[in-house]
Each structure stands twice: as structure tokens, then as C-alpha cells.
Amino acid sequence: MEVKYWKMVVLAGVQHIIFSSGIPQRTKRLNNKAYATLINGEFDDLGAEIGDFLLFPNPMDAPESPKLGVLLKEKEGKVHIEDLLPRSVALKAGLKKGDTLLSVAEWGIESIQDVKIGLFDKKHGETIRVRVSRQKFLVGQKEIELDVTL
């Protein structure tokens, strides 16, 4: 007879697993399977009973993603530039108040979160393409592509 072993990994906030409370105990009650907890953080003053394994990594700063320097507003599935910060890379590139963002670095824009995603892996000094829709006097909307150096 073949015996199958199943493993489950649960990623949760430390307050849900310390001292084997919360998620570990509930899971044990449901399936009566053994478990182990791995605690990540600075809890050395609480003692070894906080978890089965304690991990104390060196602190690291998150990488800083560049910003356009614009104030944005979402309306009806579109993202509009409400204002530009003085000396911003967006202002230098020619973006204007009232522009509607269509794409940032080839990432389609439907929400402010999309702008963050489009800039996520970019580096300072990198040039990206930003596509906007702009109201032109007596002409209506016109799509414009601008190169923005972050």
C-alpha cells in the first residue's frame, strides 16, 4: 500500500502563529496532523517557546521605485493627472494637468495601482514611454507619447 504525505505551507502574520496559537492549533484540530512554525522577526526577548524555528535576518530596506511626480485621480476607469509637482520628471517630459494616462512603460493604465505596477521595476535614470490622452482646443482628445527619464 502506497502512503501519501501531504505538506501544507501557510504564510501568515506572526500574530496568527506565535506560541502555536491561531492558525496552527485550528489546523491541528481539523486534520490532526503535526505542524511546525517558523517565526521571522525580532522576538528574541520572548524566549524559545514563541515558535519551533526562529529566523533573525538582517534588516533590509526595500528598493525605492522612481516616481513621476504627479497627483492622480481615478474616475470612471481612467486615471487623470490632477497636478504635477514642481521640478518633477513628468513636468520636464511635457505631461500636463488634465492628461489621462493610457500606459506607463507599456503597462495599460486603468487604476492608480497600475501606475505603480508600471514603475515597479524601473530604475532612476531609466527612460520610459508614457502614453496619454490630452484635450486639444477645438480638436478633441489626442493621444500623445512622451519619453520620461526617471
Q: What is the CATH number of the domain that holds 106?
A: 2.30.42.10
Q: Are residues 76 and 145 in the same domain?
A: yes
Residue 49: what are its φ and ψ, rounded to 5°?
Answer: -70, -5
Digit-coded pLDDT (tens) for 110-144: 999 999 999 999 999 999 999 999 988 777 889 99
pTM of the model: 0.61
Q: Is 29 contained in some domain?
A: yes
Q: Are residues 140 and 95 in the same domain?
A: yes
Is the per-residue pLDDT at 48 higher than 70? no
The residue segments making up the domain with residue 51 are: 14-55
Q: Is 143 contained in some domain?
A: yes
Decide which of 6, 22, 55 is a domain's last residue. 55
Is the per-residue pLDDT at 102 higher than 60? yes
Q: Are residues 83 and 136 in the same domain?
A: yes
Q: Are residues 51 and 87 in the same domain?
A: no
Q: Is 90 contained in some domain?
A: yes
> How many domains does the chain fold into?
2
Decide which of 6, 25, 55 is a domain's last residue. 55
| CA distances for 36 relative to 27, 52, 115, angstroms | 11, 6, 40
Q: Is 19 contained in some domain?
A: yes
Which burial class, exposed, middle or buried, applies to 3 when counting CB atoms under 10 A from its CB (0-12, 13-18, 19+)? exposed
Q: Are residues 81 and 139 in the same domain?
A: yes
Are the CB atoms for 122 and 128 separated by under 8 Å? yes
